Amino acid sequence: MRSLLLISGLLLAASTPARAAASQADFNAAYAAAAAAEKQAGTLQDQWTTTEADLKAAKQAAAAGNYDKAVAAAKEAEALAKASIAQATSEKTRWKDAEIR
């Protein structure tokens, strides 16, 4: 549960729009962080399609020069990826609770 609260904090942080216009460097950093988290989710066999969609949207926006949008999408992707990591981590043991015995 602690990790979930942590994630919600991250998520709120991620959703606060940047005041100043974002740069390509901002995008690169945000995207790298998101991609790293998504990669970790991949090793846990628990990527989300929504994360993938955000990553793709981020790339497209960046390619079009819209870094505000790109950074926002990348940050959301990171938040989603982290949520999926939290899910996979907690499910490592929790799945047993659902088992029919």
* Alpha carbons 18 and 7: distance in angstroms, whole number: 19
Determine which residue in the list 22, 62, 80, 85 makes contact with other proteins, applying CB under 8 A.
80
Task: Report if residue 69 touches other proteins, rule: CB under 8 A.
Answer: yes
Output DSSP code: residue 3: H
Exposed / middle / buried, residue 43 (Cβ in 10 Å: 0-12, 13-18, 19+):
exposed
- 8 A C-beta contact, residue 100 and residue 35: no
Give yes or no for residue 11 binding other proteins (CB under 8 A): yes
Least separation in angstroms between CB 30 and other proteins: 14
Which residues here bind other proteins, judged by CB under 8 A? Answer: 1, 4, 7-8, 11, 14-15, 17, 42, 45-50, 52, 54, 68-69, 72-73, 76, 79-80, 83-84, 86-88, 90-91, 93-101
